[in-house]
Amino acid sequence: MSVEKIHTVVVGAGQAGVAMSEHLGKNGVEHVVLERGRIAERWRSMRWDSLVANGPAWHDRFPNLDFPGDPDAFVPKEQVADYFVAYARNNDAPIRCGVEVTSVERVAGRPSFRIETSDGVIEARNVVAATGPFQKPNIPPLVPAEAGLNQMHSSDYRNPAQLPEGAVLVVGAGSSGVQIAEELMRAGHRVYLSVGPHDRPPRSYRGRDFVWWLGVLGKWDAQAQAPGAEHVTIAVSGARGGETIDFRRLAAQGMVLVGMTGAYANGKLSFSDDLARHLERGDRNYLSLLDEADAFIANNGLDLPEEPEARTLGAQVDCVANPMHELDLADAGVSTIIWATGFSSDYSWLKVNAFDEAGRPKHKRGVSSEKGIYFLGLPWLSGRGSSFIWGVWHDAKHVADHIVIQDNYLSYSH
């Protein structure tokens, strides 16, 4: 069997792989991007129908191409995927779709890797794992299949018509969980939402979107999450033109808020007595950002309209004042549980010494502990912005620059 030889192989053609290809191409680095589905496949097939980007179009983009239309709009998911297709085309990205990478191993005695794919074998000096963090949906093994409920991960949810009649329990109140829960409530389902630790920024304040505030306040520059906040989700939404997520407002409209989901037994789910604490933490995060924004405006003499009503928190609601600690699913008419509980990575195909004891990538800004292996598209790869479209573009530039620098060292012959 013949072996194709290419300088660098990028695995994955989502936003990370497309950005990586641009920077490699601009540096004259021979490469190929291998994608088992289509470009930006997860935007098309692992998101619900009504999803829009969580950041406005002027901000949540690559530097060299604007989204068409209103720069303040929140772009629908299909248009986001189309954007990456257009971006790849504009840069003549050498992307091969429908090619799955099954194994990567170091070649003994040579500075290269053997990449086995569904379309043959490639040998490359460098491999960039740009598959991102959304590999394996996490569904806690709490409610057994014999309970007879319709259970799905949020990545399999598409629209309300997909679900049977009856109430719905949504577990997880990050951006995905709360948006899905609100959509189902608006469609007429009784919805229970299990709320854990979260940050709740304002969608906008004093005429500026929260992404702008994070920028001018220097919060995008954070290089690591604060201790204890590694698994805290961000509750923010671009739905219906963008709105601040207010859990008390949702409860006042009929949604039942409960604490973190605990054990299941005899048809009943238990919930922790932590709902009020999580909501109070979210409120503190929200008000703290308003305080910093007000101080920035005053210190810089900006003429932005005051917005005192933004500090008015929702009224106390019964499900918070008298929290539910147990739910009999049958008595409540719950027919569906949607697990908005995140993902785990799957690097089983990457058979190299680039992981710690827990299987997490060992790297500094995407440069791994295994020479020639790189990671891209991971949360907090270099900082807070790494999970965002614009952030991954800058991370990709750093990784591409590192590859070029290493090539320069290896080509030295004097």
69-119: per-residue pLDDT in tens?
999 999 999 999 999 999 999 999 999 999 999 999 999 999 999 999 999
Write down the pLDDT at residue 158. Answer: 98
245-258: per-residue pLDDT in tens?
999 999 999 999 99
Strand, coil or helix: 91: coil
Cross-strand bridge partners of residue 237: 243
227-236: per-residue pLDDT in tens?
555 556 888 9
Q: What's the CA gap between 414 and 407, in Å, rounded?
A: 15
Nearest CA to 349 out of 9, 11, 74, 7 is that of 11
Write down the pLDDT at residue 133. Answer: 83
| pLDDT greater than 70 at residue 226 | no
Which amino acid would we find at residue 230?
Answer: E
In this prediction, residues 260-277 reach a mean pLDDT of 96
Q: Report the run of H or E that residue 400 belongs to, with start and end.
A: helix 389-410
DSSP label of 44: H
Q: Report the run of H or E that residue 114 belongs to, with start and end.
A: strand 113-117
Per-residue pLDDT band at 26 (split at 50, 70, 90): very high
Backbone angles phi, psi at 157, to 5 degrees: -75, 140
188-211: per-residue pLDDT in tens?
999 999 999 999 999 999 999 999
| pLDDT greater than 90 at residue 1 | no
Q: Give the CB-side neighbour count of residue 134, counting CA atoms within 13 A.
A: 20
Write down the pLDDT at residue 225. Answer: 65
Write down the pLDDT at residue 233. Answer: 81
Write down the pLDDT at residue 132. Answer: 86
| pLDDT greater than 90 at residue 38 | yes
209-219: per-residue pLDDT in tens?
999 999 999 99
In this prediction, residues 358-379 reach a mean pLDDT of 95
In this prediction, residues 127-152 reach a mean pLDDT of 93
Handedness of CA 394, 176, 323, 230 (dihedral sign): negative
Which amino acid would we find at residue 56?
Answer: P
Q: What's the CA gap between 158 and 222, in Å, rounded?
A: 34
Q: What's the CA gap between 40 and 16, in Å, rounded?
A: 9
Do the Cβ atoms of 246 and 320 come closer than 8 Å?
no
In this prediction, residues 153-176 reach a mean pLDDT of 96
Do the Cβ atoms of 388 and 60 come closer than 8 Å?
yes
The average confidence (pLDDT) of the chain is 95
Write down the pLDDT at residue 189. Answer: 98
Annotate 300-359 with three-state secondary structure: HCCCCCCCHHHHCCCCCCHHHHCCCCEEECCCCCEEEEEECCCEECCCCCECCCCECCCC
C-beta atoms surrounding 91 within 10 Å: 20
Q: 90 Cβ partners below 8 Å, 6+ apart?
A: 64, 65
